[in-house]
Structure 1
Amino acid sequence: MIISPVQTPVDQHSRHAALAMALALPTDVVLYLLLPMYSEQFGVSLVEAGVLLAANRLIRIAGYGFVARFYASHGDRLICTLAVIAASLCAVGYATLTGLWALLPLRLLWGLAFAALNLSTQALATAEATGASRRSGRSRAFIALGPAIALPLAALLAYGFGPRAIFWLLAATALTGVVVTRRLPSSAYPTPPKRRGLSLPNSLDMWSFLEGFTLDGLFIIGLSYLGSDLFPESAVVTAGLLLALRYLGEIILSPIGGRLAERFGAEKLLLALSLMTCICLIGFGAGWIWSCASLIVALRALQLPLLAPIVARRTPGPERVHALAARSVWRDIGAGTGPLAAGLVLPLLSAFWVYSIPALLLVWAAAACVERPSLSEHRKS
């Protein structure tokens, strides 16, 4: 199928939301780079730095429902405008405030801002079924532009001016996102009825959890833990470049993943990429650290645009926004528990088993995502 180069309103809205997130996201990812290395200059211990870096995920787990309802009631323009302003305020706080209790409210505020931007980018990319995977891939590429540029720049500036000066520049950059968000739609979305009680996780929930647990948790911590002897004096510039390469992979490969999903089907591609990721994770645990790590980063970038179109196709009505939020919650739960599990088990158990078992579970969850549509279609026929 030939895709027309003409940009539809849905394409434009998806791109503008992604650009707004690209301008705001560096205020967070740069803190991940600098806070652990310069924790004393922020007035916190290393343990407190870990608490601050985890706080934004914890508030998202609790607050995604509120964000989804606010988003449905007020639309993309207002919530994204508030989010980029909040990101700018957080950056100013990182540049000026000191200590755990002064910085913690900023991390909670950023968690809600990220939830808003993340939800808007996914919802706008999947606003129409046609081309949803392609838009999701392109959206991920635009979002990654900000961190890919900011991380090496922040690492270099930290040497000459200290770790806090860069946040003034990032605050101004995030604030320019207001220009972009003014071009987003302001219409509200239908709000689904509130659900009572807890529901059991489905196959997409399990895959989201395991993907966050394994790739955003175990893998990232293991890369530092298992490869620490390679850079005995690990410089901030080296760390910044390595993190930037992760986002560069998203810029290049996420659009490719979206196009492949349009051609072969998102569920089938999810299973194929999960299987390849499983093999690489097993190799990573077996000792092929850097070769498998580079492949895992590439496979992760290809997988990023797949989940939102699957969710949107299965919940096309008013439930779509809340379904997208629910998948993000499960991923955050996995990404939050993964580092904790890595810190507990890596010093005690063989890395081979630490990575092999979650890798196999990831493939199992991906296979369940493929099986579910076929069963429903069988029942309809």
Structure 2
Amino acid sequence: MALALALPADTVLYLLLPMYAEQFGVTLAEAGMLLAANRLVRIAGYGFVARFYAVRGDRPTCTLAVVAAAICGLGYATLSGFWALLPLRLLWGLAFAALNLSTQALATADAVGAAQRSGRSRAFSALGPVIALPLAALLAYHYGPRTIFWVLCIPALLGLTVTRGLPSLRHPVPMRRGLKLPNSLDVWSFLEGLTLDGLFIIGLSYLGSDLLPGGAVMIAGVILAVRYLGEILLSPVGGRLAERFGAERLLVSLSLVTSVALIGFGAGWLWSCAAAIVVLRALQLPLLAPIVAHRTPGPERVHALASRSVWRDIGAGAGPLLAGVLLPVLSPFWLFSVPALLLAAAAIACGRRPAAVQQGSAAQ
């Protein structure tokens, strides 16, 4: 619930900044950099966040995060220009890292039923964006893109009432680790972030404004809201399916279908494929955390969850940058097809479980 109250200001910015870049005092390329900045800072900052979270616990960490979200909403409502908005994006990046790590760590604290709890967690955290995105589109259409951010400061501050109910127990402090080569889950996380959280969101806003210049913000806002509504309705379903059929097997199947939908999106079937991608993404969201918890049990679980989030953020940070630079000059078909095919290949690689995990499952 804390994440649900803090998240709307960020999701609304993804909708409005590419369409109203000039009113925020930035170019489209700068808008892409701003939308990527919150994820890029997490690449360097997740280790710090994970250690702070382990020492302080869920309640203090998430309390600071919702306060930061309110500050960001206030800044989006009042500030203009790349250098004025950049510190807010960096602040939100660390705040989201804390909230995201807390939700995943709590959901997977017990391996039994972890997938179902991850699905329910995703559903609750999507409540805020579902309400905020259509409201933001409506207010932006009639009053401009700034008004909604004044409104979104209020629910962010209300997050203080729910963080009081979080536990304050400490977690095992993750060890400092050097750089290492990415494994199959890292590569899949990177490509999913690149395609679904980066290229797709910016592409929907940019291409939609070309097709429907008058009411694009309304339609794009509804589509993005449906994306989060899909999380509410379908993420718990994805968690139950993972418990029944296996999270790895389901991840491979859904990723292959997602790749086909991404190719269709780039080929011009914009709204139909966007709806399909929304559904598929919602079903996939609860899968990664239980896979990571199963492959990395014990005290290293929190570090492993943070590591996967870092790789997803690298991809999701690169996505807006690529979209901002390449969408005006490159065919959308190639921009979406190449990453889609790479996502399919990475998913197949994830389905081949490491030998150590297979031996452990056989022993059990």
Task: State the TM-score, normalized to the length of structure 1.
Answer: 0.87
Superposed, which structure 2 residues align to 1:241-256 within 5 Å? Answer: 241-256=222-237
Q: RMSD across aligned C-alpha pairs, in angstroms?
A: 2.3
Query: What amino acid is aligned across from residue 261 of structure 1 in structure 2?
Result: A
Moved more, 342-351 or 110-119: 342-351
Other-structure match for 1:296: 277
Pair 1:96 & 2:78 matched: yes
Query: What amino acid is aligned across from residue 291 of structure 1 in structure 2?
Result: S
> Residue 159 of structure 1: CA displacement?
4.2
Query: What amino acid is aligned across from residue 181 of structure 2 in structure 1?
Result: L
Deviations 1:251-282 (A, max 9, x none): 11111101100111111110111122123233
Decide which of 156, 163, 169 is 1:174's aligned counterpart.
Answer: 156
Secondary structure of the corresponding residue to residue 359 of structure 1: helix
> Residue 226 of structure 1: CA displacement?
5.0
Cα gap change, 1:107 to 1:226, in 2 (>3 Å): closer
Decide which of 193, 201, 206 is 2:175's aligned counterpart.
Answer: 193
Task: State the TM-score, normalized to the length of structure 2.
Answer: 0.91
Moved more, 119-128 or 275-284: 275-284
Other-structure match for 2:55: 73
What CA distance in whole angstroms lies between the structure 2 residues aligned with 1:189 and 1:210? 30
Query: What amino acid is aligned across from residue 269 of structure 1 in structure 2?
Result: L
Cα gap change, 1:286 to 1:43, in 2 (>3 Å): closer
Deviations 1:295-318 (A, max 9, x none): 122111100010011111111222
Q: Which runs of 5+ in 1 are unaligned?
A: 1-18
Superposed, which structure 2 residues align to 1:154-173 within 5 Å? Answer: 154-173=136-155
Pair 1:280 & 2:280 matched: no
Counterpart contact for 2:295–2:357, Cα < 8 Å:
no
> Residue 94 of structure 1: CA displacement?
2.0
Cα gap change, 1:332 to 1:165, in 2 (>3 Å): same
Counterpart contact for 2:77–2:147, Cα < 8 Å:
yes
Pair 1:307 & 2:295 matched: no
Other-structure match for 1:119: 101
Query: What amino acid is aligned across from residue 327 of structure 1 in structure 2?
Result: R
Counterpart contact for 2:205–2:220, Cα < 8 Å:
no
Query: What amino acid is aligned across from residue 73 of structure 1 in structure 2?
Result: V
Cα gap change, 1:48 to 1:351, in 2 (>3 Å): closer
> Residue 75 of structure 1: CA displacement?
0.7
Other-structure match for 1:372: 353
Superposed, which structure 2 residues align to 1:1-381 within 5 Å? Answer: 19-195=1-177, 197-224=178-205, 226-342=207-323, 351-373=332-354, 376-378=357-359
Counterpart contact for 2:69–2:92, Cα < 8 Å:
yes
Cα gap change, 1:98 to 1:303, in 2 (>3 Å): same
> Residue 80 of structure 1: CA displacement?
0.3
Deviations 1:121-145 (A, max 9, x none): 1111111111110011111111111
Q: Which runs of 4+ in 1 moved over 6 A?
A: none
Counterpart contact for 2:14–2:202, Cα < 8 Å:
no
Query: What amino acid is aligned across from residue 317 of structure 1 in structure 2?
Result: G
Counterpart contact for 2:108–2:118, Cα < 8 Å:
yes
Secondary structure of the corresponding residue to residue 318 of structure 1: helix
Cα gap change, 1:157 to 1:342, in 2 (>3 Å): closer
Cα gap change, 1:358 to 1:104, in 2 (>3 Å): closer
Secondary structure of the corresponding residue to residue 167 of structure 1: helix
Query: What amino acid is aligned across from residue 284 of structure 2 in structure 1?
Result: Q
